[in-house]
Amino acid sequence: MTTFRLAALQMTSLADKNANLENATRLIHKAAQQGALWVGLPENCFWMGPPHQAAPSAETLEGPCLQAMATLAKNLGVGILIGSLLEKRENAEKPYNTSVLLGPQGERLATYRKIHLFDAQVGGQHCESKTTSPGERPACVHTPECIMGLSICYDLRFPELYRHLSTQGAQLLWVPAAFMWETGRVHWEILLRARAIENLCWLAAPAQIGQHSPNHTTFGHAMIVNPWGKVVALCEEEGEGMALADIDLALLFELRARLPALGHRKLKS
């Protein structure tokens, strides 16, 4: 198979886990009905509340949200990217911000814990490292459709991560996000297209959108970008929706053959 359909979802997650889970389930059903074989949820898809409540809201990878998604994946026969959830750690105060890739039988194919944490003064003071522990290892996984590399939101500003994933064979880069409005309107599309172009990869970016708390607004604009940097699907809705596109690996192979930049690298450390 050189072509398959993918959906990058757009959500407005709040502090109500049950409501978020219901919304995610509804959107995944809708994507599957439109032929998507892979569906991506955004960062913090199951809970997006006040930072000081992060630890109490965390659950293990055997918890109810992930189990519900595994059952849904199996029932629908689709792969699901859990953009991220707060992963409870044994004997640790701070959870991980963790992305999980589920196969169409509900099996766990890959787990990625966000490496780069968002500590910045943009639209207020944000210090993700106060409430979340950083991960240490990239994640790249073979699936029947293609090789997928995982990342989360703020990772987007660190091109060395994506270059590592492409050298590991990645053909599709996942970038689930809750990108701030202030930076999203000027940087989001540019950075996504750059990462796709640099690595001659498909890229799928599920996104949070809207008002999550009085001081937290996200940009949305979930999108799918092809290896030439063209935005082939964009969710322009003000609320929940999806970007839906057919991922054509033949295009990727053709572009990499015509422009073999990945093989021309000189600085590899």
Q: Catalytic residue numbers?
A: 43, 114, 153
Q: 115 CB contacts (<8 Å, ≥6 apart)?
A: 134, 135, 136, 138, 155, 158, 161
Q: State the DSSP H helix or E strand holding residue 191, giving kind and residue range, or none if neither.
A: helix 189-199
Q: What is the 3 state secondary structure string of 40-87?
A: ECCCCCCCCCCHHHHHHHCECCCCHHHHHHHHHHHHHCCEEEEEEEEE
* 269/98 Cα distance (integer angstroms): 27
In the chain, what is the greatest distance between 2 CA atoms, to the nearest angstrom? Answer: 51
* 248/250 Cα distance (integer angstroms): 5
Rg for the chain, CA atoms, rounded? 17
Q: How many Å separate Cα 180 from the centre of its chain?
A: 15
CB atoms within 10 A of CB 144: 10
CA dihedral 9→17→185→187, nearest 10 degrees, is: -80
Q: What is the DSSP letter of 89?
A: -
What values do phi and psi take at 233, rounded to 5? -150, 135
Q: With CA atoms as reference, report the closest residue to 39 among 112, 103, 115.
A: 103
